[in-house]
Amino acid sequence: MAGLYQADRRLTIRKSHENPAVKALYDEYLGKPLSHKSHELLHTHYHPRHK
């Protein structure tokens, strides 16, 4: 656990909303956070499975 925290402290971009690639994705394709398109594409949907 300490190793993960140490590695995280060294990162330049530590938060997804500060990542230029994520910002560009929203600007060019998804619109805004929590938009219908982002919800459809990024949120996980669970369905019961029968064994």
Query: What pLDDT, in 10s, does the model give residues 1-29?
Result: 999 999 989 989 988 889 999 999 999 99
Report pLDDT for 16: 86
Domains, the chain, in order of start with CATH, read 2-42 (4.10.260.20)
CA 15 vs CA 5, 8, 43, 50: distances in Å: 14, 10, 18, 38
pTM greater than 0.85 (yes/no): no
Cα pseudo-dihedral 13, 40, 43, 14, rounded to 10 = 0
Q: Angle 9-10-16 (CA atoms, 0-180°, nearest 5)?
A: 70
Report pLDDT for 39: 93
Q: Is the dihedral of CA 17, 20, 39, 35 positive or negative?
A: positive
